[in-house]
Amino acid sequence: MFIQTLVKPSNIFGRGLFTAEPVRKGKIVCCFTTGAKIITEEQFLQGIRDETHVIVRTGTRYAGQYFTVGNEDQPYTFINHSLEPNLLCHCGLVIALRDLPADEEMTIDYRTLIDETDLGIYNDAKSGEPIRGFSAKETLLRTARQLIELVEPIDGWVG
């Protein structure tokens, strides 16, 4: 983690990850790839089918057909899903989409982190709607566009 955080009970689901300090828009919060193992999408899907705990708990799309797994001890594994997230994940790099005050729960749109099959579908805690991942290409294009829109107007951005 590149910011101070706290894991505590969430109003979204279980435990969540909260800011322990104000975080400015565009700040790099963490990187899912640090110390992670990289696996293929087929390995990810097989792990979901087999209910392999580490894959179910920590598997996230990295880029294209590749996923990261591991780092169960990292606080970022407690970032919950939201269809209106305050964080963006692009190729494992997690960035604040807006200014976050201290003690705000951090969220990511899981549709950019999971596969597009029906294997690992679960329901959004707020809406009850199924969360289904975007394709690898759609994820990359969506998050790249969001990243450009986020960073381009920030003068002197350094992360």
Residue 137, in any domain of the structure: yes
Show the domain range for 116.
5-151
Q: What is the mean pLDDT of residues 82-101?
A: 97
pTM recorded for the entire structure: 0.94
Q: What is the mean pLDDT of residues 113-137?
A: 89
**How far apart, in whole angstroms, are the C-alpha atoms of residue 26 and residue 5?**
17
Q: State how many domains the chain has.
A: 1
Digit-coded pLDDT (tens) for 54-75: 999 899 999 999 999 998 889 9
Taken as a whole, the chain contains a residue count of 159
Give the pLDDT score at 113.
95
Can you tell me which residue has the tokens 């899981």? Answer: 110
Give the pLDDT score at 39.
97
Query: Which CATH number goes with the domain that contains 143?
Result: 2.170.270.10
Q: Does the pLDDT of residue 6 top 90, yes or no?
A: yes
Residue 30, in any domain of the structure: yes
**How far apart, in whole angstroms, are the C-alpha atoms of residue 66 and residue 3?**
26
Residue 107, in any domain of the structure: yes
**How far apart, in whole angstroms, are the C-alpha atoms of residue 41 and residue 61?**
8
